[in-house]
Chains A and B, each alone.
Chain A
């Protein structure tokens, strides 16, 4: 690998992300934070939800923000660059094997997802106020799961970005991302689906389930959650599968 070229490609993405920082933050943070306010404050304060819901909600909100940031940071520019503007061609001609460009995309998406998780956690924590019951005891595990989550989101973004046409972006949101968000155990623990046995099994293909449950199990272990060991194993497998699929799609898309 040509390290100088890889670093230059990465710097370009960091430079562009920094330039679009405010817009990106608004795009990815506003919705989860409004959710936090409505579900975590309005509904709990009026007594329609118990105060313990706040602790269930926060890990889910971090998971969904990271996932959406990672997917969108990689997929959206790629969809446009491959089809309409063809901006990516200059980078495809850089003196490096093109799979490294895909890896660079995954790396920059992962980084953006991690930043988004951290950036959303603080105001969400503040908005939710006291009585959260969040523990920082398993910080190492939290970080490990966060990295695995960020990786699947950006590798998933790469796969989607190389598979979806420009005219199908709306469809991508409504048939892939929206169900993923609603059935990703973001707003409730997986155990809460016990009364819907078929659905409870079906959602297991959704990586966001493991992201929410994993962060819930490490940040608020007092609530029901899947086993952390299983989560790490499944997330690692999903990461590997999505990275491979993404690289393959990228190569197919870049070379006629």
Chain B
């Protein structure tokens, strides 16, 4: 029976630099040098985050660095204590029934955290032993995973000298070793070459096909689009949009985004842009104007005409097709990469 994930109104406020689990994520506040006598900084990482992930689903948390994705994973995997709110893995309250919750989960952290004192094979064998697997079963499963992740030739080497891609593959193999019902993948393909990324995606899909629940955090739209059944877009510790990738993309007015720069942007130009058929929304954005529309390039001549009417020159155009990046930009006014 597939196991789901649920959080209700999760809040997390860090009063000191987060020690371990979420260090990879640059939180939105700052922990830089503070002047003498200043109060400890309070950084709100999560601000009432509620999620419901169905059993057997691949669910994505999409958001920029510091949005609260890693903190959410940290709380769900017993590594970060929430300031308030609830977190459940299946029927188990993560903070009251830690051991039961830990039995159900496998975790791949953002930065490899392999046991450098052990060989690749030993890492899998000991991990299996922590979860009480019998010796024979452990060896069989370790061999299968090493083979599947193309690590057999290096199985008996210490992992200190492994490349980033090999470490990431081994981290995922380790997380799958005890065959957990729920897999957490925090930015699984950051820094991987395309070939390794595709291998990981294939393996993640196969694992999911066996009824396992997978929660992925990413700021890579391509990954979210390719893997996830549903997505939550997270910013400043809150869910700001939720749905299937297709639903989310369809929710952007028009879908296409044209980022325009003019020599100046008088109000009458905005008005005449709004009147062009096919344009659904016109928004000032700094020195430029963002236009959401149902098509892209074919609108340019009408835009140039509108500009000429207002005696303004069109200086730069950037057209993007319907994408999660545009969706994010639409909701937050910021790019995912910022």
Residues of A within 8 A of B (CB): 2, 4-5, 8-9, 11-12, 15-16, 19-20, 77, 82, 85-87, 89-97, 253-256
Contact = CB atoms under 8 A, between A and B. Distances in A.
B129 A256 contact: no
A231 to B, nearest CB: 36
- Mostly, the B contact residues are loop
B102 A94 contact: yes
A253 B79 CA distance: 10
A86 B103 contact: no
A178 to B, nearest CB: 28
A256 B19 CA distance: 6
B115 A90 contact: yes
Contacts of A4: 129, 132
B118 A256 contact: no
A85 B14 contact: no
Given A86-B111, A90-B115, A2 B19 contact: no
4 shortest interchain CB distances as A-B pairs: A8-B129, A94-B130, A86-B113, A4-B132
Contacts of B107: 89, 93
- Mostly, the A contact residues are helix
B1 interface: no
B127 interface: yes
Contacts of A16: 117-118
Nearest to B178: A95
A207 B136 CA distance: 46
Given A2-B132, A256-B21, A89 B127 contact: no
Given A85-B116, A95-B131, A253 B19 contact: yes
A82 B122 contact: no
Given A4-B132, A97-B98, A256-B21, A90 B174 contact: yes
12 contacts: A2-B132, A12-B129, A16-B117, A87-B115, A87-B116, A92-B79, A93-B78, A95-B99, A95-B130, A255-B78, A256-B14, A256-B21
Most chain B beta-carbon neighbours within 10 Å: one of A87, A90, A97, A255: A90
Interface string B117-148: 11000110011011110000000000000000
A256 B98 contact: no
Contacts of A9: 130
Given A92-B79, A97-B98, A256-B14, A5 B20 contact: no
Contacts of B79: 89, 92-93, 254-256
Contact of B21 (A85, A89, A95): A89
